[in-house]
Amino acid sequence: MLVRVMAIALALSAPIFASQTVFNAPTVNNSFAPLGNLDVLAESSFTTFAHPAFPNYSVRIKKSDFCDGTVAEARHLFFYFFESRNDPDTDDVVFWTNGGPGCSSAVGLFMELGPCRVNNATKGTEYHPESWNSNANVFFIDQPIGVGFSYADYGEYVTAQSTTEEAAQDIAAFVAIFFVHFSKFQGRGFHMAGESYGGRYIPAFAAAVYDQNAYLIEAGIPPINLTSIMIGNGMTDVPTMMTAWYNIQCSSASVAPVQTIQRVFRAYSCLSLTGFQDMRSHETKESCEDVFDVINCASAMDFCIESLRDPYVTMGLNTYDLTTRCDGVELCYSIMDTVVTFLNRKDIQSTLGVDPARAAYSSCSPEVMADFGRLSYDLMHGSTEYVAGLLERGVRALVYAGSYDFVCNWLGNDAWTRALEWSGRQAFAGTPLREWTTKDGAKAGKTRSAGGLTFATIYGAGHMAPYDKPKESLEMAQRWIAGKEL
């Protein structure tokens, strides 16, 4: 089933060489003439625009009635944009990225919170009633370069972007160019959301957007109304999360079947690691955060992975859902394979405007993951300080977690939010968790909130909460965007 939703896709161009050409692209008009409204876009060709304040960037855009959006090229960051089903002329704007690092946001679009989902049976798409564009205009982005439909003409993504901070500069520039050209969205609340490694990405991306506002004002450009960040099952503080791997397996916070496995297989391991996990947590914080020592930091992290995560994986359990076993397909979910198959169809790629010469689509890039890992050690640098800085500047932060996740579990996210050093720390940490319910009165999870920071769990959800619990996740997002308490 295809849904006729107005969707656009954009590609950010930051030329690697002065002589680089754009795949089948029209000439960029560098004089500033805002397009104003999405209705001016053509469906049969791409429109390319820029702004003199960002001479190294341009954006190509094309309109489509296809639910899944369209795609474009340059140094070839791909975006999907869906207008709100409710009121696109007044509703806020949400930016979404998946994590990895190196995983495509098409996973979030077609599996979790987009206006249509792929169907395992039909291999096509079907209407998704709990899409986050029910009351918001939503972006989905494949980033950094080398992820999904994003690529570099000459393969330079390794040297172009191998840290979150480098990727943040492209994101900030794109956001500025989009809002300045489509003036109907200027001044709207802008919410930057992400999942998993998005817990590292989103705080840094939002900080770059916030800092860029001073430059925009100086250049006579309206600033971005950065309103909040939303982090779902995020890897924001690595040392804290790795300690939580022990807690989610070896404490009463776990769930079946892990508790049963503890009694039968894991009892000795949990007992033997009791002292070591505290020691390694201290070592990880000391060498990865307090004073960055790449050798000792890597050693401490490797120990945590080998002793706390790998045995869990070896038992065939799903690291994204404590209640299920991994079915052996990509990332333990067969629907991931369906997304890949769908986006590799020639007719779909033609509709999306994909360069026919590029490589096949994959949901995650092991090369990008390796570059962000052992090349730059980006994973070892947390983003908690960005969160604190944003809170102090009036940008709200929602940190939510499905209660059944292992790899970025609720215990770790609860712990780092309570330990976050900001002016509201005492009030937040001193607020007990309370139950939150849906509008029909059903228990949905637990939450605490103080100042601009909110933490929430979603009962029965794993790593990808909008996939497992779409109704509860949408209601949470809608309340948050509207500035209401859970």
Which residues are the active-site residues? Answer: 196, 405, 463
Amino acid letter, 174: F
Cα(74)–Cα(60) distance, integer angstroms: 8
Burial environment of residue 222 by CB neighbours within 10 A (0 to 12, 13 to 18, 19 or more): middle
Three-state secondary structure of the chain: CCCCCCEEEEEEECCCCCCCCCCCCCCCECCCCCCCCHHHCCCCCCEEEECCCCCCCEEEEEEECCCCCCCCCCCCEEEEEECCCCCCCCCCEEEEECCCCCECCHHHHHHHHCCEEECCCCCCEEECCCCHHHCCEEEEEECCCCCCCCCCCCCCHHHHCCCHHHHHHHHHHHHHHHHHHCHHHCCCCEEEEEECCHHHHHHHHHHHHHHHHHHHHHCCCCCCCEEEEEEECCCCCHHHHHHHHHHHHHCCCCCCCHHHHHHHHHHHHHHHHHHHHHHHHHHHHHHHHHCCCHHHHHHHHHHHHHHHHHHHHHCCEECCEEEEECCCCHHHCHHHHHHHHHHCCHHHHHHHCCCCCCCCCCCECHHHHHHHHHHCCHHHCCCHHHHHHHHHCCCEEEEEEECCCCCCCHHHHHHHHHHCCCCCHHHHHCCCCEEEECCCCCEEEEEEEECCEEEEEECCCCCCHHHHCHHHHHHHHHHHHCCCCC
Q: Which residue has the tokens 């890039």?
A: 365
